[in-house]
Structure 1
Amino acid sequence: MKNGITEQSILLFEKKGFSHTSIQDIVNQLGVTKGTFYYYFSSKEQLLMEIHHEYITNLLEGQSRVINNGSLTSKQKLAKIIGLLINDVATNGPSARVYFREVRHLAEENIKYVKEKREQFRLNVEKIVREGMNKGEFKHDLKVDMITFGILGVTNWTYSWYKPNGEVSSDELVKIYVDMILNGIQ
């Protein structure tokens, strides 16, 4: 039931926004009582925080698997992380949209937690770029922080426009982004 509440909430938050979705809306969709909701969550904000926590935790775990794969070059790691982000939007689009759009509705301490996790993800990408520079895989004079913000900006905003059932598959989009990021559009 907890998963059902979470899944239904994600869909409602994506469609109506966090502010315009009531607990009554959530329980009506599931055909349960508010008591059922409060059995699992103390508030709508706690539910939103759990959605954010699960989303960033899954991304960090996927990123960690890529980073710890010693057989990959820095270029390959970067490509796999781009793939991780794009494929996540393709398969978990509603969660991605809630994660990026609704963070402002979290309590200050929860926003701080989410920002720390996002920062960890960013710093991990920065480390890959820096390692690639040191190994000669990337130009030696890159502004690592700006490159990282650019990579994450391009990939993270995909949630706002990408249609997985559109004319470009997620794998094709990953190839386009990887080529653009690693080779430019000269």
Structure 2
Amino acid sequence: MKEKIIETSIELFDRKGFKETSVQEIVEAMGVTKGAFYYYFKSKEELLRDICLTYIEDLLQQQERILRDENKDCTTKLYEIVYMLIHNIRTRRKSARIFFREMRHLHEEHLQEIKAKRRAFRENYQKLIEEGIAEGEFKQTHTPHMVTFGILGITNWSYYWFNPDGEISEEKLAEIYVDLILNGIKNREGK
């Protein structure tokens, strides 16, 4: 039942927004009573916290699994993390949009918990960039934390426009992004 509440809420929050969705609408969509909702969640805000926390913790686990692989260089790990984020659009798009759009509705205590996980994700990315610089794979001329924010900006907003079933595959978009990150768009062969 808890998972069904979460799934139904993700659908409604994505379509209508967190503020505009009531607990009554959630339970009506499920055909249950408010008592069923309140058995699992103290409030709608606690439900939002769980949705956001589940989303970022899953990404962190996937990222850390990639980073722990000692058989891969930094460039490969960068590609795999970018691909992981793009691939998650197919299954987690609505959760991602809720995470980025609705997180602001969390109370300070819950917001800080989510921000700490988000910060850990960013810091893991930055360590990868720093390691790539130290290993000579990435340019030393760029500030690692600015590169990290740039990568996050490029990948995070893909949840709003990328269609995994469209003309460009998840793999191809990840390749485009990593090429853009590593090489830019300037034609070095031309003028």
CA shift, 1:141, in A, is: 2.2
The superposition leaves residues 55-105 of structure 1 with CA deviations (integer Å, 9 ceiling, x where unpaired) of: 010000001101100001011111111011111123211111111100011
- For structure 2, the 5+ residue unaligned runs are 187-191
| Cα contact 1:90–1:170 (8 A) shared by 2 | no
Residue 111 of structure 1 aligns with which residue? 111
Q: TM-score, normalised by structure 2?
A: 0.95
Distance in structure 2 (CA, Å) of the matches to 1:78 and 1:20: 38
CA shift, 1:114, in A, is: 0.9
Query: In structure 1, the residue corresponding to 2:157 is in which secondary structure?
Result: helix
Query: In structure 1, the residue corresponding to 2:168 is in which secondary structure?
Result: coil
Distance in structure 1 (CA, Å) of the matches to 2:111 and 2:89: 21
Distance in structure 2 (CA, Å) of the matches to 1:78 and 1:170: 15
Distance in structure 2 (CA, Å) of the matches to 1:154 and 1:90: 17
Which AA in structure 1 matches 2:29?
Q
Residue 91 of structure 2 aligns with which residue? 91
- For structure 1, the 5+ residue unaligned runs are none
Residue 189 of structure 2 aligns with which residue? none
CA shift, 1:126, in A, is: 0.4
Superposed structure 1 runs of 4+ greater than 4 Å apart: none
The superposition leaves residues 98-151 of structure 1 with CA deviations (integer Å, 9 ceiling, x where unpaired) of: 111000110011111111111111110000000000000011222111100000
**1:1-186, aligned counterparts within 5 Å?**
1-186=1-186
Query: In structure 2, the residue corresponding to 1:92 is in which secondary structure?
Result: helix
Distance in structure 2 (CA, Å) of the matches to 1:108 and 1:89: 28
Which AA in structure 2 matches 1:137?
E
RMSD of aligned C-alpha atoms? 0.9
Query: In structure 2, the residue corresponding to 1:81 is in which secondary structure?
Result: helix
CA shift, 1:166, in A, is: 2.0
Distance in structure 2 (CA, Å) of the matches to 1:11 and 1:168: 26
Query: In structure 2, the residue corresponding to 1:70 is in which secondary structure?
Result: coil
Distance in structure 2 (CA, Å) of the matches to 1:170 and 1:31: 37
Which AA in structure 2 matches 1:164?
P
Distance in structure 1 (CA, Å) of the matches to 2:91 and 2:150: 23
Which AA in structure 1 matches 2:111?
I
CA shift, 1:160, in A, is: 1.5
Distance in structure 2 (CA, Å) of the matches to 1:12 and 1:166: 25
Q: TM-score, normalised by structure 1?
A: 0.97
Q: Work out the percentage of aligned pairs sharing the same amino acid.
A: 51
Which AA in structure 1 matches 2:6?
T
